[in-house]
């Protein structure tokens, strides 16, 4: 990986996982943000879409990898292409829609035409305008990303040197199966996702989902009481965990049902009561218990979900002080329609800009961000030292495991990974900070 600009810093100076603090400048400074776009969003694998969003040939969806607009499109052979949403002529946006179906794309400026896969096909009045040798159509298509999928999720990266997706996800695949592979048909997204802005640094969203069980009972008390008639429980340290693998993290209890109950839909509970024994056959007792427990999850760098609530989201960076949130509802393909709709309604009622839980988060993250305008304020560190001594080894759980889901272990690991990537001159510089158990192995017995 060639550094795009010389790397002036060791970014580990902003993140101290031994003493448990973070330098606030990483949530504010424009120069650090630009470096994130280069070192993280131009290099790491990122979630771009779910297979179910583009089921038919020539279906497309537009999104961003960092601030780079991309078109995600389904090819005739079933594969997916992801390419820059920018015309190589003068740079204009190729596609202006959120989603749709296109037999070809044409740029609105001079009309250069592109195949659904992103090949440059033709130039209007080519015979008159261009002479032989002016342009090689093969060479002048928009830049293509590397694409791979994991159990329905489509990922992409613009870095040829990046490790394989399997290696990038590592043992986190063992956990992902809990969400994506607990039923034989796999998953799909309910139609549509809601996009919204929050004036907060993108990392405040992701770190909340990766390991902030702590805020739940306080921030969301009114929502929990409105939905369930009672406050959220404060989980016992024993039997609840934070698990982290190279910046991906899952914090969870082992109560088995809390996040399923949170939506207040008896139908959903019934469906999962029936499914749980089959799930245990598929994934083992422990993983079947983890699903539906009080939990939240994030994949490095910017994708999150809530297993059981079935809220799925991506946090797109929009400058150091703004993010674009895209939210979806994820369900099992084989679920009865009635259960899918129960999730659609309940999930949207809780987790979108009008959601009963969502509404209580945004102001906090905006507060975390905007206050750093003050130079004195910005010079102060933030405390990330909760649960420093709770690291354990677990016979079944892969990754770096800390006991108690009230902990900042996953957040520290996330920022560690952030600093590792921010400082790296090549992928060889990026350490694996846990002992993989499933390298080269399937995470579910076939």
Partner 1 sequence: MSQTLSKTSGTKKNTANHASLELINEVQQFLYREARLLDAEQFRDWLGMLTEDIHYWMPYRYQRYRRNEKDPTIYEASYFNDSLDDLDKRVRRTEMDTCRSEDPASRFAHVITNIEVELTENSDELTVYSLTSVHRNMNEDDGHVMIGHREDLLRRVNSELKIARRKIILDQNIFTNKKLNTFL
Q: Which residues does the annotation mark as catalytic?
A: 110, 212, 215, 220, 361
- The CB-of-353 to partner 1 minimum distance in angstroms stands at 5
d(CA 61, CA 97): 8
CB of 136 to ligand FES, least distance (A): 16
Cα angle at 431 between 171 and 408, to 5 degrees?
A: 65
Residue from 149, 360, 436, 444 that binds partner 1 (CB under 8 A)? 360
Which one of ligand FES, Fe ion, partner 1, none interacts with residue 110, CB within 5 to 8 A by kind?
A: ligand FES
Q: What spatial distance separates the first Cα and last Cα of the chain, rounded to whole Å?
A: 36
User: In the complex with ligand FES, which residue's Cβ is closer, 138 or 428?
Assistant: 138
**Range list of β-strands (E), 344-430:** 381-383, 391-392, 400-403
Nearest-approach distance from CB 309 to partner 1, in angstroms: 15
DSSP class of residue 337 equals: H
Compute the radius of gyration of the chain from its Cα atoms. 22
Q: Within 362-381, which residues bind partner 1 (CB under 8 A)?
A: 362-366
354 touches partner 1 (CB under 8 A): yes
Q: Tell me, by CB under 6 A, how many residues bind ligand FES.
A: 9
Element (H or E) spanning 348, and its range? Answer: helix 337-350
- Close Cβ partners of 133 (under 8 Å, ≥ 6 residues apart): none
Question: In degrees, to the nearest 5, what angle opens at C-alpha 180 toward C-alphas 177 and 182?
Answer: 70
- Tokens 């771009």 correspond to 48
| Rounded distance between C-alpha atoms, residue 96 and residue 98, angstroms | 7
CB of 244 to partner 1, least distance (A): 28
Binding status of residue 361 toward Fe ion by CB under 5 A: yes
Q: Identify the residue among 49, 54, 107, 297 touching ligand FES (CB under 6 A).
A: 107
**CB contact at 8 A, 54 and 72:** yes
Residues in the interface with partner 1 (CB under 8 A) total 49
Whole-angstrom distance, CA of residue 387 vs CA of residue 83:
42
Question: Of 45-53, 67-75, 109-117, 355-363, which part binds Fe ion (CB under 5 A)?
Answer: 355-363
* 104 contributes a contact to partner 1 by CB under 8 A: no
**E strand map for 231-358:** 241-245, 248-252, 295-299, 303-306, 311-317, 323-332
Please give the residues from 71 up to 100 whose contact with ligand FES meets the rule CB under 6 A: 87, 89-90, 92
- In the list 34, 356, 427, 444, the residue contacting partner 1 (rule: CB under 8 A) is 356
Site string for partner 1, 307-336 (x = CB under 8 A): -----------------x--xxx-------
Return the number of the residue (92 or 432) whose C-beta is nearest partner 1. Answer: 92
Give bridge partners of residue 144 from the DSSP assignment: 83
Q: Which does 107 bind (CB under 5 to 8 A by kind): ligand FES, Fe ion, partner 1, none?
A: ligand FES
Give the Cα-Cα-Cα angle 170, 174, 180 (nearest 5 degrees): 110
Q: CB of 348: closest distance to partner 1 in angstroms? A: 6
Which residues lie below 8 Å from residue 216, measured CB to CB, with a gap of 6+?
224, 232, 294
CB of 379 to ligand FES, least distance (A): 45
Q: How far apart are alpha carbons 160 and 104 in whole angstroms? A: 27
Nearest distance in Å: CB 108, partner 1:
12
Binds 354: which of ligand FES, Fe ion, partner 1, none (CB < 5-8 Å by kind) = partner 1
Q: Does 242 bind partner 1 (CB under 8 A)?
A: no
Stretch that binds Fe ion, among 241-249, 283-291, 360-368, 381-389 (CB under 5 A): 360-368
C-alpha–C-alpha distance, residues 264 and 346, integer Å: 8
The stretch among 105-113, 137-145, 237-245, 353-361 that binds Fe ion (CB under 5 A) is: 353-361
Rounded distance, CA 442 to CA 426, Å?
28
Q: Interface residues with Fe ion (CB under 5 A)?
A: 361
Q: Interface residues with ligand FES (CB under 6 A)?
A: 87, 89-90, 92, 107, 109-112
């Amino acid at each position: 990986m060639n550094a795009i600009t010389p790397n002036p810093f060791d970014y580990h100076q902003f993140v101290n996982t031994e003493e448990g603090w973070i330098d606030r400048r990483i949530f504010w400074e424009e120069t650090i943000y630009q470096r994130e776009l280069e070192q993280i969003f131009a290099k790491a694998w990122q979630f771009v879409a779910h297979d179910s969003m583009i089921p038919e040939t020539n279906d497309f969806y537009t999104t961003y990898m960092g601030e780079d607009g991309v078109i995600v499109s389904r090819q005739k052979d079933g594969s997916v292409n992801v390419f820059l949403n920018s015309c190589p002529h003068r740079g204009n946006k190729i596609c202006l829609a959120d989603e749709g179906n296109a037999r070809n794309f044409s740029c609105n400026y001079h009309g250069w035409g592109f195949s659904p896969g992103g090949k440059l096909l033709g130039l209007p009045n080519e015979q008159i305008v261009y002479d032989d040798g002016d342009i090689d159509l093969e060479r002048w298509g928009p830049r293509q990303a590397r694409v791979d999928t994991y159990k329905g999720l489509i990922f992409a990266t613009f870095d040829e040197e990046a490790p394989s997706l399997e290696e990038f996800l590592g043992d986190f695949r063992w956990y992902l199966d809990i969400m994506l592979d607990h039923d034989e048909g796999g998953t799909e997204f309910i139609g549509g996702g809601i996009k919204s802005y929050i004036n907060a640094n993108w990392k405040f969203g992701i770190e909340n989902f990766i390991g902030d069980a702590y805020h739940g009972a306080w921030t969301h008390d009114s929502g929990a009481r409105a939905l369930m008639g009672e406050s959220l429980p404060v989980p016992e340290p024993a039997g609840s965990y934070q698990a982290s693998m190279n910046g991906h993290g899952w914090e969870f209890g082992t109560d088995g049902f809390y996040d399923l109950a949170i939506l207040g839909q008896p139908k959903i509970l019934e469906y999962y009561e029936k499914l749980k024994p089959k799930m245990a056959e598929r994934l083992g007792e422990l993983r079947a218990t983890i699903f539906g427990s009080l939990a939240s999850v994030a994949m490095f760098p910017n994708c999150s979900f809530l297993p059981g609530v079935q809220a799925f989201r991506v946090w797109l960076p929009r400058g150091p002080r703004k993010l674009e949130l895209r939210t979806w509802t994820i369900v099992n393909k084989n679920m009865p329609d009635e259960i899918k709709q129960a999730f659609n309604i309940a999930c949207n009622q809780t987790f979108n800009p009008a959601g009963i839980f969502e509404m209580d988060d945004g102001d906090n993250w905006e507060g975390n961000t905007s206050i750093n305008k003050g130079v004195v304020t910005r010079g102060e560190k933030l405390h990330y030292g909760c649960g420093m001594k709770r690291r354990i080894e677990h016979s079944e759980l892969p990754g770096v495991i800390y006991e108690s889901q009230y902990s900042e272990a996953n957040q520290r690991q996330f920022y560690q990974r952030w600093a590792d990537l921010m400082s790296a001159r090549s992928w060889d510089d990026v350490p694996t900070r846990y002992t993989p158990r499933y390298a080269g192995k399937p995470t579910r017995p076939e």
